[in-house]
Structure 1
Amino acid sequence: MFSLSKILFLALVIGAVWFGWRWYNRVGAVGRERLRERERRGSGKSASTSGGGSSQLAAEDMEKCPECGAYVAPRSAVACGRPVCPYGR
């Protein structure tokens, strides 16, 4: 029924899963810390260059193109290739 080889194999699998889970969580924690550090450095630069204003990017509402139906940001839209596209002018 239970042999020593099966028990050892089960222990090996459990150990591999345990250490793999710890490694996965550690990689995630390091990545989150790097992201926080990058945001701190980025917000420090933009706050000092913009005179202490908000360090967040302004959101822009999307508008539906009347010609092709795609939603685009009006300030940064490019032409869709159709002759009457309002953003190609």
Structure 2
Amino acid sequence: MSLSKILLLALVIGAVWFGWRWVNRVQEIGRARNAARRQDGGRDAAASAPPRAERGRAPAMEAEDMEKCPECGAYVAPRSAVSCGRPACPYGR
């Protein structure tokens, strides 16, 4: 065996060793979370957090269906549409 093969073998063994330790650490964290959830009565951490609006963020806008402009053919949201610049545009009011 040459020195390069021995070094490569050592690198592979080291990578497998550290990978195995990482996988075990991730599994242990998962087990700890599951144990905490069982002790907490099955409630998720996100479920006990205050709603988004109470955390200082603005509430999300609701979805709105798009409509095709009869003048220019572009799809626009009717409540927030602006004029396309054409004289017969229904959204230029």
TM-score normalized by the length of structure 2:
0.48
Structure 1 or 2, whichever has the larger Rg, is 2
TM-score normalized by the length of structure 1:
0.50
